[in-house]
Amino acid sequence: MLSESARLSELGKLKDLRGELEIRNLRYKKDMVSELNYDCAVLKEKRYLSSLTLHWMRFERENSDAVEKESDVIIKSMEALQPHSSLKDLTLKYYMGARFASWFHSLINIINLRLFDCDRCQHLPPLDHLPFLKSIVLSGLRNLEYISSEDKVKDFASDEMMMMSAASPLTTFFPSLESLYLRGCPNLKGWWRNETASASASSFPCLSTLDIWNCPNLTSMPLYPNLDRLDLKRSSWKVFPSSIVLSKLKSLEIRSVEDMEYVAEEGIDNLTLLQKLEIKDCPNLVSLPDQGMGRLISLQRLHISNCPKLASLPEGIGNLKSLSSLLIGCFPNVSLLPEGMGNLKSLQFLSISDCPNLASLPEGLRCLASLTSLNICKCPILEQRCQKETGEDWSKIAHIPDIRIVPQPSAFF
């Protein structure tokens, strides 16, 4: 990283610079652009540089009038910072241009791309052809509406061809992308401005991790049939596909999704490899699929909390033979738990929190020999019924080694 007194032109002396480079306090002034051009694209010559971070001064980001006035200079500043095509890792922070430099398409060896707080960006340069790009992080791009400015997707190979290992990386849509993080992009609506039939059929052939946080207007995405983990927070449920089978999904976390009212049977019953399911803070969720839940044969951890309109839990929970951890919390309308819970022979940990109307525990709990830990918090009826030796439900839980019944808020939720 350059010190405050260093000048960008001094990089020209470091002919064999390699490894990582971070440049901070970049400005949008004409003298800076001239300084870079003075040494004939100083970064472009550094073939051994593997990682580059460009960090513009944050305080200039707040002056919108100055940014608008210097818009041409802003773009030229990035153009002048072109790295060598061998670069593997690129991070941009607080860049205020409405578009990115033309040299993005030349980053044919890039593996990781991260863009933070590039407020004026409305779309990204073409990235889908980059053969080695494995990870993309887009965070705080507040004006981003569409990932691609194109009205229609290119004629990529068919989905069937994309799934074949022999498919050419030059024709496949994001051929190597494994991780995609979309965070804090409140105006993001979709991938393409005008979704055509070919666009909606496009798939990420290798995408295994998808995080979407604080993107409430994002309602469409390319398909991701090979996903391993999906994390959806404060975003729209519409990005969850109902038309494809997510047969490889192992972890699904849903939090603060306001437009999720129900989960369709066909949307969940194919998740046979799912090991972790968390549904939290969904104020309009009214039901979960009964039979679909029971088909999650690999599920080990289930956490459902703070969904106030949910009046009952699905009986299908009793079919989760692999379930070892169950957390239930903040259900004011739930009065009974599924009797099928007595079939959860692998259950080791059970936590029930903030269910003021829960009237009793299922009879079958007395048969769960593997259950070693029970936590009950802010459930006044259960607190009385589970009193040691005297409570009506004590005989159902007396065999459990670790029982914690507390009236005050717990750390579990």
Residues 6 or more apart whose CB falls under 8 angstroms from that of 178 comprise 134, 135, 206, 207, 208, 209
Confidence of residue 244 (pLDDT cuts 50, 70, 90): confident
Span 4-61, pLDDT tens digits: 446 677 777 777 888 999 988 887 666 555 655 534 447 888 899 999 999 988 754 4
Nearest to 402 by CA among 353, 367, 351, 362: 351
- DSSP for 163-232 reads TSTTS-TTTSSSTT--EEEEES-TT--EEESS--HHHHT-B-SS--EEEEES-TT-----B-TT-SEEEE
Burial of 400 (0-12, 13-18, 19+ CB in 10 A): middle
The SS3 assignment for 43 reads helix
Weakest mean pLDDT among 226-235, 236-245, 267-276: 236-245
Q: Does the global pTM surpass 0.95?
A: no
Average pLDDT of the chain to the nearest whole number: 85
In this predicted model, what pLDDT tens digit does every residue of 251-260 receive, in sequence order? 999 999 999 9
List the single range of 162-166, 247-251, 271-275, 341-345 with lowest mean pLDDT.
Answer: 162-166
Q: What is the DSSP letter of 41?
A: S
The pLDDT-based confidence of 166 (bands split at 50, 70, 90) is very low
- Rounded to an integer, the average pLDDT of 363-382 is 95
3-state class of 20 per DSSP? strand
The full DSSP string for 318-357 is GG-TT--EEEEE--TT-----GGGGG-TT--EEEEES-TT
Residue 59 makes CB contacts below 8 A (sequence gap 6+) with none
Give 232's contacts (C-beta < 8 A, 6+ positions apart). 212, 239, 240, 253, 254, 255, 257
Question: What domains, with CATH codes, occur in the chain?
Answer: 245-413 (3.80.10.10)
Q: Is residue 352 exposed (0-12), middle (13-18) or buried (19+ Cβ within 10 Å)?
A: buried
Which pLDDT does position 413 carry in this prediction?
46
> Residue 97 and residue 52: Cα distance in Å, rounded?
18
Q: Would you place residue 410 in the very low, low, confident or very high pLDDT band (cuts 50, 70, 90)?
A: very low
280-331 pLDDT tens trace: 999 999 999 888 898 999 999 999 999 999 989 999 999 999 999 999 999 9
User: Is the Cβ–Cβ distance between 296 and 279 less than 8 Å?
Assistant: no
User: Do the bridges between strand 146-148 and strand 190-192 make them parallel or antiparallel, or are there none, so unpaired?
Assistant: parallel
**What's the mean pLDDT in 376-402?**
94
pLDDT tens-place string over residues 111-148: 999 999 998 888 898 899 999 999 999 999 999 999 98
- pLDDT band at residue 68 under the 50/70/90 scheme: low
pLDDT of residue 261: 93
